[in-house]
Structure 1
Amino acid sequence: MLGCFMGLFGTSGLRGLVNEDLTPNLAVRVGMALATFIKAGKVLVARDTRASGLMLEDALVSGLQACGVDVYCLGVLPTPVLAYLTRELGADAGLMVTASHNPPQYNGIKIFDGNGMAYDGKRQEELEKIIEGEGFRLVDWRNLGRVEYGDESRLYVDMVLKSLKLGRKWRVVVDPGCGATSHVAPKIFQRLGCEVKAVNAQPDGFFPCRSPEPNVESLKPLSKIVKELKADVGIAYDGDGDRVAFINEKGCFVDFDRILAAYAAYVLKSRGGGTVVTNVEASMCFEKMVKPMGGRVVRTKVGDVYVAEAVKKFKAVFGGEPCGAWVHPKYHYCPDGILSSALLLGALEDEGKSLSDFAADVPAYPIIRRNIRCRNEVKHVVVKRAEELLKRAFPDCRQISTVDGVRLSLRDGWVLVRASGTEPLIRLTAEGESLKTAEAIMDRALAAVKRALEDLEK
């Protein structure tokens, strides 16, 4: 019988409401389970700015110590910095306390191996088994793990600075959103020679300035500032810095899909071809841009861990998701908003283009996204039932993919229905060559999913 701890981990590690889904008691168990799993060695621990971060960090550290693992606490850091340092400092694992772009009442735990790669589903299942069976390898008091505290962020800063040299003084507005990038991101752009205006750069776990998820709505104030200052670009990060969003020089939000496709095409042009990776939710403009550049496209499940795994497996030159999470394998395998934004400036300079011009060649296809509330324990069943109903609703579909949920490729668009990996939701995405087409596709898909929900409740 599966206990209450099974199914803890999703596509972005463990995540939930603080003191409801995610408690200090559970965090201690995760720490003990990881220490038991790796058997010995050293683990790096960091956190984002959330109010519950230190509480959960202390619990994790206690669990690690109890099982004889040494801990190096790095304080508040962006997730990609923790991942990079885990590899660079020769640690056996890294633990990041973060809920990324989720609201402040959430927190989570993300685990990285010694190579800076996020734990995959198989390793997360092993940890769940240890937690469920309480098979913790507790040690004698004389062998408890030691704890050290330090700041090694300079190693990451040096890596980014060595990755490119800028020849002009870019005027940038950096918006960390009171998150984990508040100190390190403005510093990097200043040292790259940019004229930097930092806003919302005071760490605050209640995120009083804006949502930790950078999107069109939350970045309206940033858009206004970019226009007022006549800046070249506005750069905004999510709560832990693994995602980035851009505002162009006209003060307009740059669509995630279009900038992803534009940058992927740039990388392929620079490298003379290669493999690029994205997920099943990305726009069909991705293929339209990368194939003329000699690119091969691999699509994965939604979730940066799957993109990173595919980037490594297929020796891809770049990977990314249409949420601002980009993977640059030349440097490391964790999505990295700070590195992505620096490299994008380098691409603009290399191409001699403004941000608006850089993305101008990417075709804009209307995408509609909808969410339907659905209990975690039944959402996968509903999606499976919806698969048959979708086939009936779209008898002319050209291809069906079940890599993640069900994705139907149509003559003039596509539709995806999948269970969220982090929330009690079923996510629907429809894209068409016109808005009318996208709306028609979404209407049929919504009807199919609602019917699947009704059938389950009978």
Structure 2
Amino acid sequence: MQLFGSSGTRGVVGEEFTPELVRRVAAAVATVWDADRIAVARDTRLSGGPLADVAAGTLAAAGADVDRLGVLPTPGVAYYCATASVPALLLTASHNPPAYNGIKLLGADGTELFVDAYERVEAAVGDDALAAWDAVGDARQVDGVADEYRADLLAHLDREAVAAADLTVAVDPGHGAGSSISPDFLRELGCAVRTVHADPDGHFPGRDPEPVAENLTDLRRLVRTTDADVGIAHDGDADRAIFVDETGAVVDGDTSLAALAAAELSRIDRTASGDVAVVSAVNVSQRLVDVVADAGAELDLTPIGSTHLVTRVRDRRRAGDRVPIAGEGNGGIFFPRYRLTRDGIYAAGKFLELLADADATASEVVAPFTDYHLVRENLTYDDDAERARLLDAAETYAHEADVALDTTDGYRLDYGDAWVLVRPSGTEPKVRIYAEARDADRASTLATDLRRRLDAAR
């Protein structure tokens, strides 16, 4: 897919991402879905309101009634879709910088569209199907969805156990769509809550939307100064969660995924039918590889991006297999038995359950999964020609190395004691490099060597 990539379509507003693009995608959605009602929602970005108006107007002009949900996290939109049986067009650029916006599409079952469904919409871009003057749709504002979604979260978590643990939680929604939900949800879960950057603001004045270590200085300080048991950070649409332990150290997303996966796999009924699989992407950490192997389950790898993960989970479940958890090391985790959508707020609740069940600190809970060191680097490019040179150099490097090679998505080289992956981003003009090893210097050397080769190709 050229337009939708690995997780919707995104771009800088006024450059790659324009009102006309929104109109064209909304028209394609109306054509392909042919639905009586379609929901429209957005995150807190400044461009979200005007662009949501464009989308809603286009859908109504095509004959669909439009449910306007306003600002709502992606998993909250998914909740609405699943309970109201209505598909949705969501204006969000997730973790991208404030100048970006984008579109995600969710089906009437609350699941982000599968690859084949996105392909059908992409193929229809440019096909405008307008309704007759007397058949245009109506738009209505739908209120109360945030409260209903929060209640649904609480109903699917062990509220009593978390409340009994008497946890103090520091939360950083990053001025995003989780700001009006996550802190209140955590209070209702029975936690004492401290907040930073919890006011919805499309300028993102406190930090950029991506919850990576360099953006979480304020949250780390808040954890230390308030003696919080754990810190929780979200991205712009709150479909991801990254944790900070009680010492103020950021817990790598691969580590928290491994810890949560171990807990989910420990509860699997081995007498039930169907194979047990965990679905992750080709940049999977050895932490998760070890957890899945220890549990006697299967690890199923996909190209990077939530669209590919949900598609594989769907296929495995249709085949009769059980998938208790899926996700990537960026904090985006699926709990398919709850809902096949990445949900950073639900993931936060599951991590708090883990602390309560273990009666241990956050650092103690994740300690068994911290044996590896992961290095991530990004190389930006200016145009398609430079991108091609970088990827040509990556291909040459991969085939020259005398190691096992996986080309599911980019080039992953497995050295036995370490691995390195190079691939183009599906959402930004970047080529990404990942390297992991038990020894930090080994991982850094692998990443640096590959980066130097690519830089030389510029």
Give the TM-score taking structure 2 as reference length: 0.92
User: Distance between the aligned counterparts of 2:389 and 2:32, measured in 1?
Assistant: 31
**8 Å Cα contact 2:260-2:350 kept in structure 1:** no
Describe how 1:111-150 pairs up with structure 2 within 5 A.
111-131=105-125, 134-150=126-142
User: Distance between the aligned counterparts of 1:373 and 1:107, measured in 2?
Assistant: 19
User: Distance between the aligned counterparts of 2:294 and 2:356, measured in 1?
Assistant: 22
Q: How big is the shift at 1:189? A: 1.1
**8 Å Cα contact 2:213-2:250 kept in structure 1:** yes
Describe how 1:76-115 pairs up with structure 2 within 5 A.
76-91=71-86, 93-115=87-109
User: Distance between the aligned counterparts of 1:311 and 1:9, measured in 2?
Assistant: 19
AA at the equivalent of 2:236: G
Selected match of 1:163 from 156, 169, 182:
156
Q: How big is the shift at 1:101? A: 0.8
What RMSD in Å do the two structures reach over aligned CA positions?
Answer: 1.8
Q: How big is the shift at 1:50? A: 0.5
Q: Deviations over 1:138-186 (max 9, x none)?
A: 1101000111101222331121111122331221112111110111111
User: Distance between the aligned counterparts of 1:42 and 1:286, measured in 2?
Assistant: 40
Describe how 1:177-326 pairs up with structure 2 within 5 A.
177-272=174-269, 274-314=276-316, 315-326=322-333
Q: What corresponds to 1:39 in structure 2? A: 34
Q: How big is the shift at 1:375? A: 4.7
Q: How big is the shift at 1:385? A: 5.4
Q: What corresponds to 1:14 in structure 2? A: 9
SS at 1:115 equivalent: coil
Gaps of 5+ in 2: 271-275, 317-321
SS at 1:408 equivalent: strand
User: Distance between the aligned counterparts of 2:208 and 2:397, measured in 1?
Assistant: 36
Q: What corresponds to 1:415 in structure 2? A: 420
CA separation of 1:389/1:250 partners in 2, compared to 1, >3 Å: closer, same or farther?
Answer: closer
Count how many residue pairs are aligned between Structure 1 and Structure 2: 442
Gaps of 5+ in 1: 1-5
AA at the equivalent of 1:435: A
User: Distance between the aligned counterparts of 2:132 and 2:398, measured in 1?
Assistant: 58
Which stretch has the larger CA shift, 288-297 or 326-335?
288-297
User: Distance between the aligned counterparts of 1:36 and 1:198, measured in 2?
Assistant: 43
Describe how 1:315-354 pairs up with structure 2 within 5 A.
315-354=322-361
Which stretch has the larger CA shift, 224-233 or 159-168?
159-168
Q: How big is the shift at 1:122? A: 3.0
AA at the equivalent of 2:432: R
Q: How big is the shift at 1:10? A: 1.6
Q: Deviations over 1:244-278 (max 9, x none)?
A: 11111112111111111111111111225632121
AA at the equivalent of 1:365: Y
AA at the equivalent of 2:280: T
Selected match of 1:439 from 436, 440, 444:
444
AA at the equivalent of 1:83: A
Give the TM-score taking structure 1 as reference length: 0.92
User: Distance between the aligned counterparts of 2:218 and 2:381, measured in 1?
Assistant: 33
Q: Deviations over 1:44-76 (max 9, x none)?
A: 111111100001000001110111011101110
CA separation of 1:447/1:224 partners in 2, compared to 1, >3 Å: closer, same or farther?
Answer: closer
AA at the equivalent of 2:397: L
SS at 1:289 equivalent: helix
Which stretch has the larger CA shift, 243-252 or 366-375?
366-375
- Please identify runs of 4+ aligned residues in structure 1 that moved more than 4 A: none
User: Distance between the aligned counterparts of 2:36 and 2:132, measured in 1?
Assistant: 16
CA separation of 1:223/1:389 partners in 2, compared to 1, >3 Å: closer, same or farther?
Answer: closer
Which stretch has the larger CA shift, 416-425 or 431-440?
431-440
* Percentage identity across paired residues of the two chains: 37
Q: How big is the shift at 1:82? A: 0.5
User: Distance between the aligned counterparts of 2:445 and 2:186, measured in 1?
Assistant: 44
Q: How big is the shift at 1:433? A: 2.6
AA at the equivalent of 2:357: D
**8 Å Cα contact 2:196-2:218 kept in structure 1:** no
Q: What corresponds to 1:3 in structure 2? A: none
Q: What corresponds to 1:52 in structure 2? A: 47
Q: How big is the shift at 1:77? A: 0.4
AA at the equivalent of 1:327: F
Which stretch has the larger CA shift, 165-174 or 142-151?
165-174
User: Distance between the aligned counterparts of 2:290 and 2:118, measured in 1?
Assistant: 36
AA at the equivalent of 1:154: D
**8 Å Cα contact 2:277-2:299 kept in structure 1:** yes
**8 Å Cα contact 2:390-2:454 kept in structure 1:** yes
User: Distance between the aligned counterparts of 1:443 and 1:230, measured in 2?
Assistant: 37
Q: How big is the shift at 1:381? A: 7.1
Selected match of 2:411 from 406, 409, 422:
406
AA at the equivalent of 2:156: S
User: Distance between the aligned counterparts of 1:384 and 1:63, measured in 2?
Assistant: 41
